[in-house]
């Protein structure tokens, strides 16, 4: 306080009129001195001061410029969305120039080579500029929109706030850690404080360990089983028209994309989105020496069992297909042959045996082939697997699968039979070591143990394995065990945990 009085006395000595202590001191501090983040006023502009600096213990909340009070335009940049993604395609804008947005409001939807992601706002303010049009390529770290902030606290929202011991009482929260810096934006800190979450307990997935909004939501989901704010509403696919074809007439397959009108001219399009991901993945995959193995499976008993359980599952609100049984049988087989759930490093020096059975299921969509992943099949029941598949199918048809739903696979099953195929030559998805292609179920004549011809529900299976680490005998034994579980589904009860 003595130092403050000395400053004011010196200013009066220079002939400056000071109406009041609080007003004059604020004017001097704001208009005549540049301040750093710790409250030290540097480089005086009045000749009366010959000191290099003067320390004032004044709360930082009084140091506001007129630009901050009236609002400041900040660039909202596309942050790192993980999985090594550096560019995305803008699919849809939810805002226009002049629109008012709040934190967590949807800004736009972008399509990476892995998934479709909805970008939400970090700030409260007004959209002043949009940098991309629909179908343009946006890059991580570059600006998406300019937002004029409405609140003083949002003057420097883009800059990460690093916690340090010397903070004001008004801004000091339970999130402080002595001797450790935690990086998070003010919006993330507010979300953590509103949900009583300690930032020290959250693992940051952003650059240099920065805690993102998604990290807070994932942590909250693990603790409470709920995700805040609520995920966007899932838009169901358009209802399919009921076929009115005469009985016995062949059904014409429907094209997944609208028929292109013939123009007589060549057309060139950029490779992007999921198609671009396929180019990258298959280019790497075909460097793997593939080993193929095919067999047929008699699903007569499983067809009957599934028909009996279908009504029970529907009463629980779940559609029960054959795929949950295929995944569970595969998981039981992987316990016996873990090499099929392994990965080989790029230098072919180490094999990593994965503890979790994260089984991907190839799905055909309007955007192309995607492979959502059912995580931890080894600890899930058949009903739980069915519920997860239902969720993934709903999101996939609505084009709302997230990156987490499409990553982390250790083994894959592709159900080509839903379209009509029998045998296939599936291509391994790196870094996995094996993949299976399931054909359609057909009613075919077969001989029983008494030599009598009977109707049987026959399905074909085609396997591909990385021949560098998986030999033919291992692949055949795994296939035989998988086949045994499906032909005798009651035996799976013996090995379920």
The alpha carbon dihedral of 275, 238, 110, 211 has a sign of: negative
Cα separation, 349 vs 343, in Å, equals 11
Element (H, E) at 466: strand 453-466
Yes or no: say if 407 and 360 are a contact pair by the CB < 8 Å rule. no
Count CB-CB contacts under 10 A for residue 64: 13
Residue whose pair of structure tokens reads 């966007």 in the numeric block: 232
- d(CA 130, CA 59) in angstroms, rounded, equals 37
The single-letter DSSP state of residue 455 is E
What is the structure's pLDDT at 416? Answer: 87
Q: 317 near 383, Cβ under 8 Å?
A: no
Helix axes 300-315 and 472-487, enclosed angle (nearest 10): 60
Q: What Cα–Cα distance (Å) separates residue 205 from each residue in 73, 75, 83, 131, 452?
A: 27, 22, 11, 26, 62
3-class SS at 145?
strand
Sign of CA dihedral 328, 330, 335, 340: negative
* Secondary structure (3-state) at 453: strand
Q: How do the pLDDT tens digits run along the chain, 497 residues long?
A: 555 555 555 555 545 454 444 444 344 343 443 444 444 444 444 444 443 344 433 343 333 333 334 568 888 888 876 666 778 888 889 899 999 888 878 888 888 766 677 888 888 889 999 999 988 888 888 899 999 886 544 444 444 333 333 333 333 333 334 445 677 776 777 778 777 787 777 877 776 677 887 788 777 766 544 333 333 344 444 444 444 455 555 555 555 556 667 788 888 888 777 777 778 878 888 889 999 999 999 999 999 999 999 999 999 899 999 999 999 999 999 999 999 999 999 889 999 999 999 999 988 777 777 899 999 999 999 999 999 999 999 888 887 787 888 889 999 999 888 888 888 999 999 999 999 999 999 999 999 989 999 999 999 999 999 999 999 999 999 999 999 999 999 998 888 77
Q: Which two tokens stand for residue 372?
A: 């959502």
Q: Is the peptide bond before 431 cis (omega within 30 degrees of 0)?
A: yes
The CA–CA distances, whole Å, from 211 to 200, 215, 488 equal 10, 6, 49
Q: Beta strands of 177-312 (E only): which ranges?
A: 183-184, 290-298
The catalytic site residues sit at 467, 471
* Rounded (10°) CA dihedral 366, 369, 372, 377: 130
Strands laid side by side in the 116-120 sheet: 116-120, 106-111, 87-93, 137-139
CA–CA dist 222, 214 (Å, integer): 12
Q: At what angle do helices 323-336 and 472-487 cross, to 10 degrees?
A: 130
Q: State the Cα–Cα distance between residues 342 and 326, nearest whole angstrom.
A: 19
Q: How far apart are CA 307 and CA 321, in angstroms?
A: 9
Question: Are the C-beta atoms of 486 and 299 separated by less than 8 Å?
Answer: yes
The span from the CA of 100 to the CA of 191, in Å, is 20
């Amino acid at each position: 306080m003595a130092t403050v009085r000395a400053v004011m006395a010196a200013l009066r000595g220079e002939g400056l009129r000071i109406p009041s202590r609080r007003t004059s001191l604020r004017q001097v501090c704001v208009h005549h001195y540049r301040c750093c983040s710790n409250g030290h006023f540097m480089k005086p502009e009045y000749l009366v001061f010959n000191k290099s600096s003067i320390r004032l213990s004044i709360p930082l909340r009084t140091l506001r410029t007129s630009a901050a009070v009236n609002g400041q335009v900040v660039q909202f940049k596309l942050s790192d969305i993980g999985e090594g993604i550096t560019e995305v395609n803008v699919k849809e804008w939810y805002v226009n120039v002049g629109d008012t947005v709040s934190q967590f409001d949807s800004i736009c939807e972008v399509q990476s080579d892995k998934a479709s992601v909805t970008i939400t706002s970090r700030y409260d303010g007004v959209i002043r500029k949009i940098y991309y049009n629909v179908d343009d390529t946006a890059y991580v770290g570059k600006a998406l929109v300019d937002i004029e902030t409405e609140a003083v606290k949002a003057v420097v929202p883009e800059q990460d706030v690093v916690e340090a011991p010397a903070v004001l009482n008004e801004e000091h929260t339970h999130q402080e850690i002595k001797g450790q810096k935690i990086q998070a934006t003010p919006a993330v800190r507010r979300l953590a404080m509103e949900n009583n979450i300690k930032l020290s307990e959250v693992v940051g997935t952003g650059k240099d360990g920065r805690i993102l909004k998604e990290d807070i939501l994932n942590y909250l989901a693990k603790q409470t089983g709920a995700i805040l704010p609520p995920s966007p509403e899932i838009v169901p696919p358009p209802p399919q028209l009921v076929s009115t074809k005469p009985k016995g007439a062949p059904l014409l397959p429907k094209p997944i994309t609208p028929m292109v009108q013939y123009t007589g001219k060549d057309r060139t399009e950029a490779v992007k989105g999921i198609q671009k991901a396929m180019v990258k993945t298959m280019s790497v995959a075909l460097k793997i020496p593939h080993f193929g193995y095919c067999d047929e499976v008699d699903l007569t008993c499983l067809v009957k069992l599934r028909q009996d359980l279908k009504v029970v599952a529907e009463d629980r609100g779940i559609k029960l297909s054959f795929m949950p049984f295929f995944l569970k049988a595969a998981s039981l087989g992987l316990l016996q042959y873990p090499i099929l759930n392994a990965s080989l490093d790029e230098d072919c020096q180490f094999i990593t045996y994965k503890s979790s059975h994260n089984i991907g299921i190839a799905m055909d969509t309007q955007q192309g082939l995607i492979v959502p992943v059912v995580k931890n099949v080894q600890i899930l029941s058949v009903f739980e697997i069915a519920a997860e598949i239902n969720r993934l199918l709903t999101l996939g048809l609505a084009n709302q699968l997230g990156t987490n739903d499409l990553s982390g696979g250790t083994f894959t099953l592709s159900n080509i039979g839903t379209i009509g195929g029998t045998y296939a030559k599936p291509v391994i998805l790196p870094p996995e070591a094996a993949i299976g292609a399931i054909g359609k179920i057909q009613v075919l004549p077969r001989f029983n143990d008494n030599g009598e011809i009977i109707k049987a529900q026959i399905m074909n299976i085609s396997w591909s394995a990385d021949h560098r680490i998986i030999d033919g005998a291992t692949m055949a034994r795994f296939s035989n065990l998988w086949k045994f579980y499906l032909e005798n589904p009651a035996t799976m009860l013996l090995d379920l945990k």
